[in-house]
A and B are shown apart, each in its own frame.
Chain A
Amino acid sequence: MTSPSPVLYDYILSPSCYKARLMAALAGVRLALRPVDFHPGVEHRGPELLALNPAGSIPILVAPDADGDLILTESAAILVYLASKAAPAFLGSGKPAESARIQQWLAFSARLTASLGGARLHEMLHRPGDLAGLRASGIAALRELEAALFEQRLKGEAFLVGNRPTVADIACFPYVALAPDGGVSLDAYPSIRLWMRAVRALEGFIEMPGIHRLHELKPDPHEAPATAEA
């Protein structure tokens, strides 16, 4: 008997929800999506969702587990759970330094959410906030990320931790890729742009609004047309 799919309380425009969708797609885990009317309905602050997550945020993952339902409300924990279940390579090799570096980036990703994500919500959906301050801390985080990815490139490594993707990349990618939505340009960060391209080229990659797929890779432009026209 197959166990039912984990349920993701999801919003199509949320980069944090997208992290979970992307990780699941890369790991081959099927999620049951439960759309949440975040905007304009503010459903995440309603009684049903507050009962699941008193913090009033999404995503929320409800996964059937041996001890009853496992309820996860932090996107980093959701990524680790999905990777542990179906794609353990996304957790790294298990060497102490590598595991610690992954944790370092998972924690760092929360800064991206607060800064670049805050600027995006302000610019796009009218959420209140100090836009100049949010952008400044977002740019500071991007500069750190650019420096780290540049060092990785010198080592010949395309991803944040090693030469293969881990949950660290999935945790950091969405808010970085959507920084322009909050008025923060990525033009100044060539290493970040190469890294984003590497993430978008992963087998099983899925898009979200504002993050487009690599059109030059899919579909194959050299594929023969299905029908010949006279």
Chain B
Amino acid sequence: MSRDAMIDEWYPVGLLSQLLPEGRETLLMGETIRVSLGADGRAKVATTAGHPLPVTERYGHVWSSLGQPARPLFDIPEAEHPGRRLVDVGVVRVRCSPLRAVENFLDIAHFPFVHTDILGAEPHTEVESYKVEIREEADEVWATQVKFYQPQAAKSASGGITTEYMYRVPAPTCSVLYKTCPPRPGEWDVITLFVQPLTEELCDVWPWMALYDDDTPMTDLIHFQQMIFLQDRSILENQIPRRLPLDPGMEIPTRADLTSVAYRRWLKRHGFTYGAQLVAQ
């Protein structure tokens, strides 16, 4: 489908901690771009013809756009609270639609089957009722009061707990998850999925986290999140149809999929169809 409506959005294109003066080439919505470290110590993004593109440096990543973003990158106020560990998880390439990657991140029903004994376990497979809304003022999808039994909810969790989640979609290829923080009840851990759309059926996924966890070594935190995401990768690469259907008929949602339904509705409303399929084929 068309990239027109999504072209003015911000997308992650690299890790700030891994910028090189000579730069590296990558794709953004089918266009080859170069991401490099400028002489002034700031990130630079340009087309192969040398045309500079907008840059934002935030949440550990370089963000850019092929168009002209009308607003700044979305806020994650919690992520900037002092005392959090900021975790660059690194990039993983997935042969799937960027929208499929986000949709999978929003799904909880797969936890016991794909993340067995970590984020879920049989027979605790029930997804309890939760609340989903499109917040008109912020123009974001939110799912709240999501509860799920998890044997090992986080690296810092010892033993099974019922975890509470909130999901938020502030941009078409980004999702922010707020999750019960085992060492600090009352606070939320922030786990994000930033997706760089390379093409409509290929993406680079940059997970990132802002956690209250002073004890776990950084490498363990990175491995935990990579383990979780790589358990999803083979599933994502085998989803048919490859593009996310926005019209009903091709896939039948259940009650547990309310967040996905809202996400698809929100995408369709905005004409965010890069990586989507509109008419059931």
Contacts and interface: CB of A to CB of B under 8 A. Distances in A.
Interface string B47-84: 00000000000000000000000000000000000000
Query: For chain B, what secondary structure do more than half of its interface residues adopt (helix, strand, loop), or is it mixed?
Result: helix
A39 B219 CA distance: 9
A114 interface: no
A36 interface: yes
Contacts of A123: 93, 95
Nearest to A207: B116
Interface in B225-259: 226-231, 233-234, 237-238
A37 B219 CA distance: 5
Contact of A125 (B93, B123, B218): B93
Nearest to B228: A209
B232 to A, nearest CB: 9
Nearest to A35: B219
A125 B233 contact: no
A39 B230 contact: no
Interface string A55-70: 0000000000000000
Chain A: number of interface residues, binned into ranges: 20 to 34
Contacts of B229: 209
Interface in A10-44: 11-13, 35-37, 39-41, 43
Interface in A54-86: none
Given A13-B227, A210-B234, A213-B116, A40 B90 contact: yes
A95 interface: no
B88 interface: yes
- Between A12, A123, A126, A225, the greatest number of chain B beta carbons within 10 A of the residue's beta carbon is seen for A12
A168 B67 CA distance: 54
Interface string A197-230: 0000000000101101101000100000100000
A41 B114 CA distance: 26
A207 B228 CA distance: 12
A61 B217 CA distance: 20
Interface string A123-136: 11110000000000
Contact of A40 (B88, B114, B228): B88
Contact of B226 (A43, A209, A219): A209
B91 A13 contact: no
Contacts of A157: none
Nearest to A215: B113
Contact of A210 (B18, B122, B217, B233): B233
Contact of A39 (B218, B226, B227): B226
Contacts of A207: 116
Contact of A126 (B91, B219, B223, B234): B91
A180 interface: yes
Contacts of B114: 212
Given A36-B219, A39-B226, A210-B230, A180 B237 contact: yes
B193 interface: no
Contacts of A11: 223
A113 B225 CA distance: 24
A48 to B, nearest CB: 12
A181 interface: yes
Contacts of B40: none
Given A210-B231, A219-B122, A40 B18 contact: yes
A43 B219 CA distance: 10
B220 interface: yes
Interface in B201-229: 217-220, 222-223, 226-229
Contacts of A183: 95
Contacts of B95: 123, 183
Contacts of B88: 40
A125 B92 CA distance: 5
Nearest to B223: A12
Interface of B: 15, 17-18, 88-93, 95, 113-114, 116, 122-123, 217-220, 222-223, 226-231, 233-234, 237-238
Given A12-B230, A209-B230, 11 more contacts: A11-B223, A35-B219, A41-B219, A123-B95, A125-B90, A125-B91, A125-B92, A180-B237, A209-B229, A215-B113, A219-B122
Interface of A: 11-13, 35-37, 39-41, 43, 123-126, 180-181, 183, 207, 209-210, 212-213, 215, 219, 225
23 contacts: A12-B226, A13-B223, A13-B230, A35-B220, A35-B223, A37-B218, A37-B219, A39-B90, A39-B226, A40-B17, A41-B219, A124-B233, A125-B90, A125-B92, A180-B237, A207-B116, A209-B228, A209-B230, A209-B231, A210-B230, A212-B116, A215-B116, A215-B122
